[in-house]
Each structure stands twice: as C-alpha cells, then as structure tokens.
A and B are shown apart, each in its own frame.
Chain A
Amino acid sequence: MGDDAKGLLAGYDRGAFFCELTSYRNTNDPQIATVLDRLGRLEFADLSRRSAEAERELFNLGITFTVYSDRDSIDRILPFDVIPRLITGAEWSILEAGVVQRVQAINLFLADIYHDKRILKDKVVPAELVLGNSNYRPEMEGIDVACGTYAHVCGIDLIRDPQGIFCVLEDNARTPSGVSYVVENRTLMMRTFPDLMADLRIRPVDDYGIRLHAAMAEIAPNGAGAGGGDPQVVLLSPGIFNSAFFEHVFLAREMGVPLVEGRDLVVDDDKVFMKTTGGLERVHTIYRRLNDDFIDPEVFRPDSLLGVKGLMRAYRKGNVALANAVGTGIADDKAVYAYMPRIIRYYLGEEPILPNVETMICREPEGLSYTLDHLEELVVKPVGESGGYGLLIGPKASKEEIAEFRLKLRHDPSNYISQPMIGLSVVPTLTASGVAARHVDLRPFAVTGSSTWVLPGGLTRVALREGSIVVNSSQGGGSKDSWVLGGQNG
C-alpha cells in the first residue's frame, strides 16, 4: 500500500489490485494530485447527498431502463457512482491505437469471410468455427459494403490486471450499448461536482452524436443527398418497450435524426422510405438497434413484427446502408475472440497493441483437458451468451457448482472457452458505510465510417457488490465517469 491517504480516502484499501485512482498517487502528475487532494477533502455525508441528488436527476430525466412485470413497468436507473476513474493522456494514446487496430482487423476479417474466405483457406481460423457458427450469415456473402466497414460502432471491453496492464476481455461488434451513459454521466458530473472538476483538462465526450452522424453519412449509398441535402439517416429501434429505449432516444437526439420503428419504414422498388406527414421520404442510412434476426421477416425470422419487409433486398442492391452491417456477430463470438491476436497479425502484419486475456478453447482437446483439470482456478464462459449469464467463476464457486459445471462442459465442450481469473482493477466507490474498492472494466466506443474515431474514455462499469467481478447491469453493476486527462492535445 503505502498510499498516504487522508480524509475521505483514509480508510481505503485497494487490496492486491490496481487502483484506477490511488495507484497513480506517486506519478507526480499535478492533475492527478489535484483530483486526489480534492476528493480527500470531501465529506462522506456531502458526497452521499450529492450522489442521491444525481441519481434523482437521472430518474427524473428518464435516463433509465424499464423493467416489466405482469401488470406494471418500473423505470430503473443504471446506478451511478460519483467517484470517477482516471486515464492518463499517455495511457489513452495506447488504448486508442489498440482499439483502432482491433476494429480495423475485425472489419478486414468480416470482409474476408463474406467474400474470398482467405483466412479460412489458409487455416488461420478453423473454417467450421466460422461457417458452422449461428452468427455467420450466408446472406451476406458477396455483398459489398461502403468503405469496407461492417462494424461501424464497436465496443471493446477492457480489463486491467494487478500489474496495470490493459487486456481485451471481449469485443462487441453487433449493437454495443452504453455510450449514452458515458455522455450523460459526464453532464451529471459537471453539474454535481463543479468543484472537483474545476480547471482540470478532461477530454470532452459530447461530440459523439456528431461523429456518429458523420460516419453514417459517409456510408450512405452513392448519390444520396444529391440535390444539395444531406443523406437521410434514421435510427431504427424496436420501440418504447425496449429496455434500451433511452439509449435509442439519446442517439437519435444527438444525431438530430428521426427515431423510427419498423412500421415507419416501407420498401418500394428495392428502396427504403419512411412514412412522413408529407408522404414517403427516401432513407439512405439506417443505424439499427435491432438484432439481425428481426430486421427483415422476408429473410430472417418470419414472425418479426419489428423489422421491415424487403430491407435485405434494398441492402443487397446497395440502395440503403445498414449500421452495423448484417452478420457482424461472428466477429464478437467468444470462440472467434480467442483467434483475434492471430487475425490481427494475419491482416495487418502487426503485433496486437492490446493483448487478449489468455484463452483456452474447449472445442480443442488440449484446451478442454486443461480446463477440466483447472476448473477451480478458471473462469469458464459459454460462447453464445452475453450479459454475464451462464458462466462459472472457479475460485468463487462451491465444490457442488464445479462438479455440476464439469458435467455441462463434458457434454458440450465446443460451447465453452476458459480464461484465468484476472484480478480486475478497482476504483474507490461510495457505499452505505464509506468509500471502498470495487472492481471495474472499461468499454471504449469506436465509430467507423471511412476511418475510425474512438470516444475518449468510454463506459466504466463497476461491480457494486463487494468482491464481485461481474459488472453487467443485469447483475448488479453500475457505472462511473471515465476521465481522460491531458486536454484536447494530450
């Protein structure tokens, strides 16, 4: 330890983990010293009061997700912890380059597997792992997408080990969510803690909507907006009953584009139109927050009422752009993840800037036997699940749970990967009884049209239960503001 903490942080113990605030204490960075000093002077009661006010404001503003029961709907906020995490300008440069590299590789991989399949022919990635995967969409074969970009919005989940090294835990290339919380958390911090933030050079996050809109305009079909206007971009949402509806509202609002539902769109002559008060108007780019399965009942689930009949016909003809492209789920599959360092080397001829967490692939005999022998030490994850469901955390599981999981794993090994348990970094977090260490991850968001831009910082998710490493909102997680220090130019 040896942290000369005082005031609010006096009793704080980061344990054996890297702390995103206090581990920077001896770096002599004047901005970090200022933050720690100001935090130390805050009274616990004052911090608790401001925290409660901040959460009340989130609730009133409807920055919430909705939980439905049989008869009622309840709006819940994503719990917001007011103590921020810090990222230095130098660290951010590396993270940013690493995310850009990863997104580039993901897009090259997707273009390849839906065209020539060189990486499969060269046996860098097993062909059956891709072609036999439920997330692979044969419907995409041979379709050319604008700028070669498939994963226009990508969220790369990072964790930080006890040595302070960032590694990639997971890629999210379908419809990663959470960016609205990044921007709203910042606004809330600026309102609630002007004294804590005064004169610090924290990189702004409020131009996300402008960047996203620019990328959506870049991928619009050729000739869109000819005649002077901008291409018509829309955000496609499943509607107000979707639990992430607030984020859809946020994105439409920040881009200044209509939020449409499937029933607002119609395909005619293989072109997409929206129903307006003045009749049908052409749509050029759709940022869709609807899974592949639901977007076109003509091609995918025929029972989908949320999608648009004929959308894939228009897409194939190049008359509309979809973001993200159909079929990107194959790139963030947990089994494909294990090959990502090799994928980066294959397409870019570079070493990965951000390492993967070491991963055993249970479909491979060595991976399975190692996993079975070390279940008590490993985290074992089903490859098809998300949201933190169905995983085994060996070091925290009982003997019975491990025995039960062993049977599941033997029964269907190719459904699992395993990773060593990483001691996730921590951040001081407000609890009922004081400030204590809680584990966090970081999800930076990358937006790609013709080039890739990364939102400075990203979503810091925090496991609010003591000792927990599951940060998902469905499992008792919250969020924090993430400050990239150093101002606009580092």
Chain B
Amino acid sequence: MGNLLARSAENLFWLGRTLERVENLARIIEITETFARDYSERNWLSVVQINADEKRFFEKYSATDAPSVVGFYLLDGENPTSLPATLQAAHQNARALRPVISIEMWEQVNVMRHHWREVSAKDLAAPGLPRLCRRVRDQCQVHEGIVEGSLSHDEAWYYYRVGKAIERADQTTRLLDIKYHLLMPNIDAIGSALDSSQWNALLRAANGYQAFRRVYQGRMTPAAVAGFLLFSDSFPRSISLCVREITWMLSQLRSRYRLTGGVAAEEKLDEMRAVLGDITIEKIIDNGLHEFLDWLQRQFAGLTDDLREGFFGE
C-alpha cells in the first residue's frame, strides 16, 4: 500500500478537528446554560469571546443574552463557527474520505448531520437545550469509539488524532484565557460560594471538573486551575498532554512510514515541551497568563501551517 493521498490526510486532520470543535461547543453552551446563570450576559459574552466572534456576533445582535448567543451558535448556519456549520464541514470532510474511513464512521457522521438538520428553535426552549447539547456530545463520543474500533491504525489514524489533539489544546487555551480573566476581578470577594461555582464551571467547560478534584481534593485556587489545564500529565485536554501526544504521533509517522513532512512541526513541539517543562504556573501568572496563552495559540496555528506544508501538499 502506498502513502495516503495528501488531500485525504488533510481531510482526516480536519475531520478530527471539526468534530472535536463540535463537542467542545456543545459542552460550553451546556455548561453556560446550566451553571452560569448569574452574571448571565457576561457569561454568554465569554462564549462569543472564546470563539473570537465579537465582530460577527455584534453585526447581528446587540446584546449577549442567552437566546441570541444560543441562536448564533446552534441555529445560524451562516455563522461559520456555529454548530450546524462546523458539523457541515465535518460531514463534507467525511464524505470526501468515504473510500478511506470505515463505513460505520461515515454512517455515524451522516446520521448526526441528518439529526441536526431537524433541529429548530423550539428544541432550544427549556429544558430542551441541555438535552440537545448532551445528545451532540454523546454522538461525538460515540464517533470517537467507532474511530478507535474500526479505523485502521495506519497513517490515516495519525492525521485524525493529530487534528483532534491540536483542536483540544487550542480550545483549552481559548477557554482558559477568556474565563480566567473574566473571573479574576471577583477574587476580591474571597470565599463567596459564587466564585468557586464559577471556577467549577470553568473546569466543567473543559470537561475537567472531576479530574481536577481527584488531584487537588479540597484545594481550589485560580493558579491551581490554570496550572492543571496547562500542565497535567494525565488530563486528556491539558496542553502538556496534547503536546506529548502530537509529538508521539509525528514521530510514529516518521519512524513507521518514513514520512518526514512533520519535521518542522516536531521542532516547534520540542520548543514547546522545553518551555512547558521549565516554567511554573506562578511564573507564568507573574509574566502574564494572557501573553503565555497567546504564544501557545500562535504555536498551534504554526503547527497547522507546518503540517499543511509538510503533509497536505501545499
């Protein structure tokens, strides 16, 4: 068997990324709806900020109330970061990949899209919204199970996993950046129940609430939360773990398939690992968390460019 078509590799990368994005978006909206009722407008604004959609959003809406933000992300197919648009992109990638991926993988994405096409405004009314988000998350997780059980763990699998890991890491940096800086001023009102519930919501939005608890038990500080999301060596969405996984996958492509397209990306990853291994969360916060997260985001964007040049034939 020869090497994978460059276009297929790119489609796999984006299939992994877009479905991860769908899962994250559904989770963030579900958590915001459920746990962030206080400071409602500010919390819904943060969803828009996480997706860097301020400009597009305020062209259409004047206030970040729940119906506007939910409608913008769950119903508006013209918004390219909306769930229907992202799912449509995933579906398009999966369609182009049909000869490469397993039939079950394709069928499940196809059915997911068919389901979503039947969703309308009335499905978002309470208590339908959390249920709907939960269904999408379930479908994304079923998808991941199907991938593990039915996609050959060959070259194709690595591009899919790299895409997924980059998206996870990118989502974690965005979430942490916006939420941390949203919640920090409230630190003055130390010890209020409201504060810890907002930090809990941040962890839940990253799907890390329980994982954090197991590590930190009763201790909960903003620095601990930020450190956990950046440095945990076992939480699936931490930056360190994603960087480690991407590094491993690119080295596999090099050693198992003699593919050298990932060399530039590997150099970037080496640099990131060195920085992450050398620095503490206190130091990062002293120097500016936002600046550090911004640097990480630029690194991940650079990785995507390196892969595009190295593997995807551009």
A interface residues, Cβ below 8 angstroms from B:
59-62, 232, 235, 239-240, 245, 249, 252-253, 258-261, 263-264, 274-279, 281
Contact = CB atoms under 8 A, between A and B. Distances in A.
A279 B6 CA distance: 8
Interface string B123-134: 000000000000
B interface bracket (residues with beta carbon within 8 Å of A): 20 to 34
Interface of B: 2-9, 92, 95-96, 98-99, 103, 106-107, 110-111, 114, 155, 257-259, 261, 311-313
Contacts, number: 69
B4 A276 contact: yes
Given A61-B107, A61-B110, A62-B107, A275 B95 contact: no
Nearest to A255: B99
A240 to B, nearest CB: 5
A249 B98 contact: yes
Secondary structure call for the B interface: helix
A232 B2 CA distance: 9
A60 B110 contact: yes
A260 B5 contact: yes
B263 to A, nearest CB: 13
Contacts of A279: 3
A62 B5 contact: no
B2 A281 contact: yes
A122 B114 CA distance: 60
Contacts of A263: 7
13 contacts: A60-B107, A62-B98, A62-B106, A232-B2, A245-B95, A249-B98, A258-B99, A260-B5, A264-B5, A274-B5, A276-B5, A277-B257, A278-B258
B256 to A, nearest CB: 12
B118 to A, nearest CB: 13
Contacts of B312: 277
Going nearest first, the 6 A-B pairs with the smallest beta carbon separation are A276-B3, A278-B3, A252-B99, A249-B98, A275-B313, A259-B99
Given A60-B110, A277-B259, A277-B311, 18 more contacts: A60-B107, A62-B95, A62-B98, A62-B110, A240-B92, A240-B96, A252-B99, A253-B99, A258-B5, A261-B7, A276-B5, A276-B313, A277-B9, A277-B261, A278-B258, A278-B259, A278-B261, A281-B2
A263 B313 CA distance: 11
A60 B114 contact: yes
A252 B311 CA distance: 22
Nearest to B92: A240
Contacts of A275: 5-7, 313
A275 B3 CA distance: 9
A116 B65 CA distance: 78
Contacts of B106: 61-62
Contacts of B261: 277-278
Best-surrounded residue of B3, B5, B6, B110 (most CB of chain A within 10 A): B5
Given A253-B98, A278-B259, A60 B6 contact: no
Contacts of B92: 240
A264 B96 CA distance: 13
A322 to B, nearest CB: 19
B224 to A, nearest CB: 41
Contacts of B111: 60
B108 to A, nearest CB: 9
A257 B98 CA distance: 12
A279 B3 CA distance: 9
B270 to A, nearest CB: 21
Contacts of B96: 239-240
A252 B107 CA distance: 17
A277 B110 contact: no
Nearest to A281: B2
Nearest to A261: B7
Nearest to B253: A277
B7 A264 contact: yes
Contacts of A240: 92, 95-96
